Amino acid sequence: MNDILKYLEGELPRINAFLEAEANKLDGVVQPAVKHVLGAGGKRLRPLLALLTAHALETEADLYPLACSLELLHSATLLHDDILDDAELRRGQEAAHLTFGKGSTILAGDVLLALANRLVADYGIPRLTSVLSEAIMLTATGEVKEIANVRNVDLSRDDYMDIITGKTAYLFQAAAECGAILSGKGPEMEQAAHAYGLNLGIAFQLVDDALDYVSPSDVMGKPSGGDLREGKMTLPLITYLATLDEKERTELLDQLVADSFTDEDIQRITGEVVDGGHAEATRDAAKHYADKARKALDAFPDTQEKSIMDSILDFVISRAK
Amino acid sequence: MNDILKYLEGELPRINAFLEAEANKLDGVVQPAVKHVLGAGGKRLRPLLALLTAHALETEADLYPLACSLELLHSATLLHDDILDDAELRRGQEAAHLTFGKGSTILAGDVLLALANRLVADYGIPRLTSVLSEAIMLTATGEVKEIANVRNVDLSRDDYMDIITGKTAYLFQAAAECGAILSGKGPEMEQAAHAYGLNLGIAFQLVDDALDYVSPSDVMGKPSGGDLREGKMTLPLITYLATLDEKERTELLDQLVADSFTDEDIQRITGEVVDGGHAEATRDAAKHYADKARKALDAFPDTQEKSIMDSILDFVISRAK
């Protein structure tokens, strides 16, 4: 962990300074919503991933436009997601659409999507734009699938994996892959970076879905059991449902479909999911993808950054928030 | 007009076939909203503008990915706009967010923005992406400004021009400019195309704002007087307000701010705006920008397409819907 923290300490101020400078160049009318989402903290995982991959491959180009474009893309999806989730909180503060209105928030997201594309276009390497655009298409598609499957009690584990790969992992994959593209080290390294980012992203989302059942609200900045409340069919719930007998299962699914859980129901089911080991089992599934990501790292030359990329896998698996 | 129609007859089927093919490649879960907005007709003005400009400059590249990316970008803004306008109708049919839900509609818009960027990245000319991304940023910014100035009775004519240039003209400008970039004929032609598109776009939106006061609902596919009802401060209203005496003006502005117009008020004021010649005066303002666009055309070589680009200026100025 220490090596991650040290790297973060060096890079976070530069990432944040670049983001702030870009936000300040925008028209005053869109700055408030943009600064609201960019200024709310967040782990800056995607920019770090781009920086680490590029550094690990000894890239000489200025990396901050690329790294920050990934945070801009991620922030754009957060602005849009919060509207469709009707979220009240984001990163522990009031969601942008409640402060600035739906319209301005949707459009501020569009501005960030476009700004990210423009920053990346300035490298003069069209493949960067292709990879990022493809990732955004897949991310939005994954999110539509997630919406379409809310309260779909027949959602399979495979379909669930498809959804989380879409909504989360492709942007991680694009971050690492673009870092490798910038390095100019060739298709083999791009492929390794692709596999590292994709599997890291899947592991990250699996742990996120496990934490939704175990974290008290003050740690996550949003109420625990939120996914269950919203009818999101995530892995802890899917594996828990498989352990119920026919009668219990039907009762619970009827309530889920009818959106009729009381607060006590949520607390009871969340408790049963955790006590039954389903959150832990989801974390174990995450370890499987972290191992795949680690294997992809083998192709990288031995550098300090490679070892940080390895530490990040441990962090993602073990994190408590 | 005949030359425009003939050109349209040749190009529209190809534009629509390309759009349909791209829509069919998308994941099934996002296809319905995408096909809804793409299939609802529309004038395909932006793709035509890109095609005409590129043809007028004897471009040999495949133009349909660029032309269609402009319709995809425009369609993405329509999907997002309808949510923030709470629109019920779009191009005469039910607005997408009412059919598919807000969430899927926002995300389908994001998919289209990303698809457009990917199509354009495939040309391998980063400046195309830069110009388009900049245009999308300015378009979204113009829309945020429009929202921020709803019922702002102090909106000046300059601020109004700034808003419509943002929300409409930059995408026209980008269409023409990208057509010129693809031609490889150099910065002078790109500049001329830029000026043609920008001024055409301003003229187009001015006429749109005039038509909102004069067109019966069955022609426009949306109720007439809609802008007044929504509190949008457009040029016909701004110049009409300037003719009222202090008392009348204060009364009307109080109602506008309070959003308290009755249907009779809307009909009466709309009538007064038209009878006072304010819709016509807005169309005259449009002619001024059409003339600027015509001047920019002087730099173009004499081709059939150039003469169609000239005819389009007449069409935009004189159109009744």
In this prediction, residue B103 carries a pLDDT of 84
Chain B positions in Cβ-Cβ contact with residue A114 (cut-off 8 Å): 113, 133-134, 136-137, 140
Residue A92 above 70 pLDDT? no
To which H or E segment does residue B242 belong?
Answer: none
Superfamily of domain B2-318: Farnesyl Diphosphate Synthase (1.10.600.10)
**DSSP secondary structure string, A248-306?**
HHHHHHHHHHHT---HHHHHHHHHHHHHTTHHHHHHHHHHHHHHHHHHHHTTS---HHH
Q: A36, A118, A132: which to substitute to probe chain B, counting the most B Cβ within 10 Å? A: A118
Give the per-residue pLDDT at A124. 95
| Long-range own/partner contacts, residues B37-40 (CB < 8 A, 24 or more apart) | B37/B75, B37/B78, B37/B79, B37/B90, B37/B96, B37/B108, B37/B112, B38/B71, B38/B75, B40/B90, B40/B91, B40/B92, B40/B93
Interchain CB contact of B222 with A (< 8 Å): no
Q: Cβ separation of A117 and B124 shorter than 8 Å?
A: no
Digit-coded pLDDT (tens) for B84-103: 766 666 656 777 778 888 88
Predicted confidence at residue B198, as pLDDT, reads 98
The CA distance from B190 to the nearest CA of chain A, in Å, is 18
Using one digit for the tens of pLDDT, what is the confidence trace for A19-67?
A: 999 999 999 999 999 999 998 777 899 999 999 999 999 998 999 999 9
User: Is B151 in CB contact (< 8 Å) with chain A?
Assistant: no
Is the pLDDT assigned to residue A3 strictly greater than 60? Answer: yes
Q: What is the pLDDT of residue B42?
A: 79
For position B217, what pLDDT does the model report?
Answer: 54
Interface probe, candidates B31, B97, B113, chain A, greatest A C-beta count within 10 A = B113
| B-chain residues near A29 (CB < 8 A) | 141, 144-145, 148
Contact assignment for B118 to A134 by CB distance below 8 Å: yes
Are A140 and B115 inside 8 Å of each other by CB? no
According to DSSP, the residues that pair with B89 across neighbouring strands are B94
Question: Would an 8 Å CB–CB cutoff place A192 in contact with chain B?
Answer: no
Q: Is A121 on the interface with B (CB under 8 A)?
A: yes
Q: Do B118 and A102 touch (CB under 8 A)?
A: no
Predicted local distance difference test score (pLDDT) of residue A72:
97
Chain-chain contact of B115 with A137 (C-beta, under 8 angstroms): yes
Stretch 61-100 of chain A: residues touching chain B, C-beta under 8 Å: 76-77, 80, 83-85
Question: Does residue B221 sit in helix, strand or coil?
Answer: coil
- The predicted-structure confidence for A156-208, as pLDDT tens digits, reads as follows 999 999 999 999 999 999 999 999 999 999 999 999 999 999 999 999 999 99
- At A91, is the pLDDT very low, low, confident or very high (cuts 50, 70, 90)? low
DSSP SS3 for A104? helix
Q: What is the CA radius of gyration of chain A?
A: 20
Interface ipTM? 0.90
Reply yes or no on whether the pLDDT at A313 is more than 90: yes
pLDDT tens digits for B210-249? 999 997 654 555 557 889 998 999 999 999 999 999 999 9
**What percentage of chain A reaches a pLDDT higher than 90?**
80
* CB contact A134 to B (< 8 Å): yes
- Mean pLDDT for back-to-back runs of 10 residues, chain B (321 residues): 86 95 95 90 90 95 96 93 69 74 89 96 95 96 93 94 97 98 97 98 97 71 77 96 93 92 93 96 98 98 96 94 78
The predicted pLDDT at position B99 comes to 81
